[in-house]
Chains A and B, each alone.
Chain A
């Protein structure tokens, strides 16, 4: 019971952390520091509770409190599956709040700083409450609190119409998702007789219906294609530390919901294949859209979609394994998915913090206008390279270990019945995702940090590494990425316990199926050799390099604008995938001796810009026609109510319903 009370106390502190700031003066830094302190304290309490529970020392892991609502009950629980997510929820928002001390100073943002702090705290608390709730009604309430807090955090700069637009799209998307979940829990309660989230035997059709509703409802939050359309706008427009929490943690809460529901349901035959297919689609499309973006934060947001796709691939494999009774697929697939939840929850906030640091210095998100920042921002460059390598799944960082589990799981399907061997082809899809991710992050690294500045009047005094408040969270996250890459054997027990919580019949065999000791060894060799190789060149006795300008074929006035831009770097890939990306603004041929020529290459979101927006405009055109019913007179409305009631009675009588 101790650990649950600790976590509950932590959640309360997190949720209220934004309140005291309102009693401080408008521009007071002390208020923001109080908020950060409370959030960190709450997170520390929560983390202590999770650790106690994981070690088996936290006492009972179920708690039911008094509750005055007519439905459901205030029932909480802890298990290894939830702990995986709780760790992220108790680490990343606290780091984000610390980063916010430098990034979103109260003195710079007196109008919205306190509101952001409040929403940020409620968002963290609500996410934790979602994960520990063991009752459908409580889950939905926490879910809605999380969705609304996220809305207010996204629309922090609500004086900007683009921010409001992104906020509205998010709000609509999240509520359509919630609607699906509402129906899902209704169906669940009808089938099982209660809202309590416990495994129940149920007919196959009902289970499939619950599964589909869960996939769609949680898919909206997690960002599965084609339900991802709200995500790039919202993540790009929110302040960077909010984007970090949304992308690193809130998407994972969507994944958590899907994992929780699938763990309670009897698995159907087609589920695994469907989730795997959605995962491959989401992964490939997400990363392809990601590398085509010119807006740094949109690029990161699409790359989150791609990573959720990778997680879904792992879940699909695990579902397939549970249906077929193949423990190795379950262990490797779910192990990969859960490890990737952690990995992405660490490196994506790191990358968003990095982007925020640069955006803070340059006041632009456009990759085509940056360049050469690595020399004046060496810390940011180094930390970005760590995050980028982790995201691309390259050794010696944590991303590699997660993808390695998933590859191994997919290779294991080769030993299955011939119908499922085709599943292994998803391995080639994962390789495609990896290669595209490398292309995308080579582009960002090169365009932002390397080469020369593309700004005609760069101001080197502004292009500095951020202060300690922003740097420390980044260093912590990069350190965690490296630690998880090198120390993967030590987290295996936590993953195995979580896999067992998801599928109790499967033996915990991750350590034997996929021994990571060699991976760790290879990672150490790479790391050591890299440090040695680069360090050698800085030794006093090393050959000194002469510095000259880059070879420019003797051109008299080279400028930074002559470099390959971010867009041109990935243009080849965008053309290759043009049939899905539908890029706009292909350059025509300029006339001979053109004095001036300009074009813009944009890759807008296909789902939002080509499907949903035209549909919304159509609806907007048709809806005014029914405005004649809107009279603004009370007695007319009363008449409507009477008519509707009569109609309902008539319908009920006609169908014999009572």
Chain B
């Protein structure tokens, strides 16, 4: 019970901090002091109090976009085990629901963007649906590998089933899988080198281009949902790449949170040392993720 409470608290409260850590890391690399760790919390608080502005072309789809996006990522977060504790909701086949929740979110994010009738939003939506075509099969290959390794069809046991496999024959599989999942995370969360969340040139963006015409509380919902998504996908990666368990509840939670913060630092470092890929090169990166996850599946067929 206490684990479920902690799970929900971590899921709802921690995400904006991860983006704060990324920002701080990037600032440190650039020799700046940077915004405080809690900047996104302040931003969200500010956005929620602002008024609403919508385009004259929009319908209810535009208003549904932010709400549905947030609902699906939170629901997806309840299906993923955080660290060593089990997920609050767990049943046979929950990984499929997990993946399709993200697809549902994508449907509404992209249609809400198209509802504004702006070309920038159109570009963002086009890129979002195109890149998902490559990242979604990669994610399913990852699920297939995890299901095969653990002999289970539920995310909690699938992700915990990799514990202790690091030193066994499955290690190469796990390494390939972690790399593939990392690329999927970068693409799904629209971080560098796939998308530059800081740019102000709409032509080159994906996620930011889609939300250009959302403002106030709607923008707040979107920003918050994006950070929750980072945490949820990060939790999968943590489970695969760091399958350690001390057996002590609070220590496992500390390891999990430390792992997520470490992941944010890694993302921050990457964003500091890399440039964004040209848009037409992004599919190559995603195909690489598909190949990595597919190869890890092939390794199991021996």
Residues of A within 8 A of B (CB): 371-372, 374-375, 378, 381, 385, 388-389, 392-395, 400, 403-404, 407-408, 411-412, 414-415, 418, 421-422, 424-425, 427-432, 434-436, 438-439, 441-443, 445-447, 449-452, 513-515, 518-519, 522, 525-526, 529-530, 533-534, 537, 543-552, 560, 562-564, 568-573, 576
Q: Are B75 and A526 in contact (CB under 8 A)?
A: yes
In the complex the two chains form, what is the Cα distance from A438 to B299 in whole Å? 30
Say yes or no: B110 contacts A442, CB within 8 Å: yes
Main secondary structure of the interface of B (DSSP, over half): helix
Q: Give the distance in Å from the alpha carbon of A515 to the alpha carbon of B93 in the complex.
A: 9
- Select B144's contact among A400, A425, A526, beta carbons within 8 Å: A425
Please tell me if the beta carbons of A394 and B107 are within 8 angstroms of each other in the complex: yes
Q: With A414-B148, A421-B300, A534-B63 as given contacts, are A551 and B111 in contact (CB-CB < 8 Å)?
A: no
A530 touches B147 (CB 8 A): no
User: Closest CB-CB distance, A398 to chain B, in whole Å?
Assistant: 13
B59 partner, pick from A434, A450, A537, beta carbons under 8 A: A450
Q: A400-B100, A408-B93 given as contacts; is B71 within 8 A of A550 (CB)?
A: no
B92 located at the interface, meaning its Cβ lies under 8 Å from any Cβ of chain A in the complex: yes
User: B225 to chain A: closest CB distance in Å?
Assistant: 12
Least CB separation from B130: chain A residue: A572
Q: Is A394 touching B103 in the complex (CB atoms < 8 A)? A: yes
Contact of A439 with B132 in the complex, beta carbons under 8 Å: yes
Which 9 A-B pairs give the minimum distances between C-beta atoms? A564-B122, A533-B67, A446-B114, A451-B117, A545-B52, A572-B130, A439-B129, A431-B140, A518-B91
* B262 interface contact, C-beta 8 A: no
The distance from the CB of A367 to the nearest CB of chain B, in whole angstroms, is: 12
B144 touches A427 (CB 8 A): yes
B39 at the interface (CB under 8 A from A): no
Report the nearest B residue to A549, measured CB to CB: B56
Supposing A395-B101, A534-B60 touch, asked if A411 and B52 sit within 8 A by C-beta, the answer is no
Bound complex: CA A440 to CA B59 (Å): 20
Number of interface residues, chain B, beta carbon within 8 A: 73
Partner of A573, one of B91, B104, B133: B133
Residues from chain B with a CB closer than 8 A to the CB of A450 are 57-59, 61, 111, 114-115, 117
- Chain A residues with CB under 8 Å of B30's CB are none
Q: Choose one: B94, B100, B117; the contact of A394 (CB below 8 Å).
A: B100
Q: In the bound complex, how far is the Cα of B98 from the Cα of A404, in angstroms?
A: 11
Residue of chain A at shortest CB distance from B74: A529
Give A522 to B91 CA distance when docked, in angstroms.
Answer: 11
Question: Chain B's nearest CB lies how many Å from the CB of A525?
Answer: 6
Cβ-based interface call for B72 (8 A): yes
Q: Which of B97, B123, B216, B302 contacts A519 (CB 8 A)?
A: B97
Knowing A414-B144, A442-B107, A549-B55, the reply to whether A451 touches B71 (Cβ < 8 A) is no
Q: 16 pairs across A/B with beta carbons < 8 Å? A: A404-B97, A407-B96, A408-B92, A422-B301, A435-B129, A446-B111, A446-B125, A451-B57, A522-B97, A534-B60, A543-B216, A545-B54, A564-B122, A569-B114, A573-B129, A576-B134
A-contact bits for B30-58, CB 8 A (1 contact / 0 none): 00000000000000000000011111111
The B200-254 residues at the A interface (CB cut-off 8 A) are 212-213, 216-217
Closest partner residue, chain A, to B117 (CB atom): A451
Q: Establish whether residues B96 and A404, one from each chain, have CB atoms under 8 Å apart when the complex forms.
A: yes
- Asked whether B256 is an interface residue with its Cβ less than 8 Å from the other chain, the reply is no
Cα of A560 to Cα of B114 in the assembled complex, Å = 12
Q: A442 to B113, alpha carbons, bound, how many Å?
A: 10
Question: In chain B, residues 84-131, which have Cβ atoms closer than 8 Å to a Cβ of chain A?
Answer: 89, 91-94, 96-97, 99-101, 103-104, 106-107, 110-111, 114-119, 121-123, 125-127, 129-130
Q: How far is the CA of A48 from the CA of B54 in the complex (A)?
A: 51
Set of chain A residues within 8 Å of B294, measured between Cβ atoms = 425, 428
B133 and A428 form a contact (CB under 8 A): no
| Complex alpha-carbon distance, A438 and B101, angstroms | 12
Please indicate the chain B residues that have their CB under 8 angstroms from the CB of A430 in the complex. Answer: 140
Q: Contacts A421-B301, A428-B140 known; A576 to B117 CB distance under 8 Å?
A: no
> A435-B103, A572-B126 provided; 5 other pairs, C-beta below 8 A?
A407-B96, A428-B137, A442-B114, A450-B115, A569-B122
Q: Chain A: interface secondary structure?
A: helix
Residues of B at the A interface (CB closer than 8 Å) are 51-61, 63-64, 67-68, 71-72, 75, 89, 91-94, 96-97, 99-101, 103-104, 106-107, 110-111, 114-119, 121-123, 125-127, 129-130, 132-137, 139-141, 143-144, 147-148, 151, 153, 212-213, 216-217, 283, 294, 297, 300-302
Complex CA–CA separation, A221 to B141 (angstroms):
33
Chain A nearest CB: distance from B101 CB in Å? 7
CB distance from A333 to the nearest CB of B (A): 14
Question: Which of B94, B111, B123 touches A518 (beta carbons < 8 Å)?
Answer: B94
A450 to B110, CA, bound (A): 11
Q: Which of chain B's residues has its CB closest to A528's CB?
A: B71
Complexed CA–CA distance, A371 and B212 (Å): 20
Docked CA distance A426–B57 (Å): 41
Q: How far is the CB of A555 from chain B (nearest CB, A)?
A: 10
- Closest B residue by C-beta to A288: B133
A residues within 8 A CB of B134? Answer: 576
Contact B68 A530 (CB under 8 A): yes
Distance in angstroms from A624 CB to nearest chain B CB is: 48
- Inter-chain CA distance A549–B106, complex, in Å, is 25
**In whole angstroms, what is the CA distance A411 to B139 when docked?**
14
Within the assembled complex, what's the spacing in Å between the Cα atoms of A435 and B67? 21
Q: Enumerate chain B residues within 8 angstroms of A563, measured Cβ to Cβ.
A: 117-119, 122
Q: Are A442 and B111 in contact (CB under 8 A)?
A: yes
Q: Establish whether residues B103 and A439, one from each chain, have CB atoms under 8 Å apart when the complex forms.
A: no
Contact call A438/B103, Cβ cutoff below 8 A: yes
Q: Which residues of B contact A400 (CB under 8 A)?
A: 97, 100
CA distance A570 to B301 in the complex (A): 35
- Give the interface centre of A381, A418, A442, A445 by most chain B CB atoms within 10 Å: A442
Select one of B129, B132, B140 contacting A427, CB under 8 A: B140
Q: Given known contacts A378-B59, A385-B61, A545-B54, is B97 in contact with A564 (CB within 8 Å)? A: no
Minimum CB–CB distance from B168 to chain A (whole Å) comes to 18
Residues of A within 8 A of B141 (CB): 425, 428
> Across the interface, which residues of A come within 8 angstroms of B216, CB to CB?
543
Q: A408, B64: Cβ atoms under 8 Å? A: no
CA of A22 to CA of B140, assembled, Å = 57
A545 touches B117 (CB 8 A): no
Contacts of B61 in A (CB 8 A): 374, 381, 385, 445, 449-450
Rounded to whole angstroms, the CA-CA distance of A326 and B98 in the bound complex is: 27
Which residues of chain B are within 8 angstroms of A431 by Cβ–Cβ distance?
A: 99, 136-137, 139-140
- CB-contact partner of A551 in B68, B133, B137, B212, under 8 A: B212
Residue of A nearest to B60 (CB): A534
Task: Check B130–A576 contact: CB distance below 8 A.
Answer: yes
CA distance A560 to B119 in the complex (A): 10
Nearest Cβ distance between residue B180 and chain A, in whole angstroms? 12
Residue contact A572 to B127, C-beta cutoff 8 Å: yes
